[in-house]
């Protein structure tokens, strides 16, 4: 009887551990097997003086060179003009390391609040094919000056 309780306890523990590990495994293996990554930071700065938004990214690509294109759109109530859209591009270093990159997005009519951002990374290895893609809601903070 004691052995049955121990075996039952070990079985429950084994199932609990494997279920707990599955989400991590699924995240690591989800999507393509590409080593390229791009993530968009939660907050962006809208500089009134230049009518530009600085969007922060974290970018990783393996070798050669790369380019990242960021698009931002905003509708009411964030945009005081009923809607705003803009895009910007920046070169990136592809050395297998994660790099912080700020992409300047030109566009008039943005305001403080929520907006939608997308980022597409292409590399010399991928040509015109998108090597990594990200999208998310961001919070725009207006900066005077």
Same domain (yes/no): 67, 47: yes
Q: Do 81 and 123 fall into the same domain? A: yes
Pair (23, 85) in one structural domain = no
Q: Is 96 left (phi over 0), alpha (psi -120 to 50) or beta?
A: left
Alpha-carbon gap, residue 76 to 135, rounded angstroms: 19
CATH of the domain at 106: 2.60.40.2550
pTM of the model: 0.73
Residue found by looking up tokens 């945009």 in the block: 79
Same domain for 3 and 70 = no
Tokens of 114: 């929520």
pLDDT tens sequence for the chain (145 residues): 433 333 333 333 333 333 333 332 222 223 445 689 999 999 999 998 888 999 999 999 987 889 999 999 998 888 878 889 999 999 999 999 999 999 999 988 898 999 999 999 998 876 667 889 999 999 999 888 6
Assess whether 73 and 101 both reside in one domain: yes
15/79 same-domain check: no
48 shares a domain with 17: no
Q: Which helix (H) or strand (E) holds 92?
A: strand 83-93
Supply the pLDDT for residue 33: 57
> Domain total for the chain?
2
Q: Are residues 57 and 112 in the same domain?
A: yes
Q: Could you tell me if 43 and 93 lie in one domain?
A: yes
Q: Please list, residue by residue across 27-57, b when 16 or more beta carbons sit within 10 angstroms of its beta carbon and e when fewer do.
A: eeeeeeeeebebebbeebebeeeeebbbbbb
Distance CA 52, CA 104 (A): 6
Say yes or no: 104 and 44 in one domain: yes
Q: Provide the residue range defining the domain that includes 62.
A: 37-143
């Amino acid at each position: 009887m004691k052995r049955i309780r121990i075996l039952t306890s070990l079985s429950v523990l084994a199932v609990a551990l494997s279920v707990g590990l599955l989400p991590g495994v699924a995240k690591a293996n989800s999507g393509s097997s590409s080593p390229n990554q791009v993530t968009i930071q939660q907050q962006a700065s809208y500089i009134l003086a230049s009518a530009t938004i600085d969007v922060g990214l974290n970018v990783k690509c393996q070798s050669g060179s790369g380019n990242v294109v960021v698009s931002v759109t905003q509708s009411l109530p964030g945009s005081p003009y009923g809607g705003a859209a803009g895009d910007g591009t920046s070169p990136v270093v592809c050395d297998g390391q994660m790099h912080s990159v700020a992409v300047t997005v030109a566009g008039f009519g943005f305001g403080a609040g929520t907006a939608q951002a997308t980022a597409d990374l292409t590399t010399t290895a991928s040509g015109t094919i998108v090597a990594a893609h990200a999208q998310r809601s961001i919070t725009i903070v207006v900066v005077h000056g």
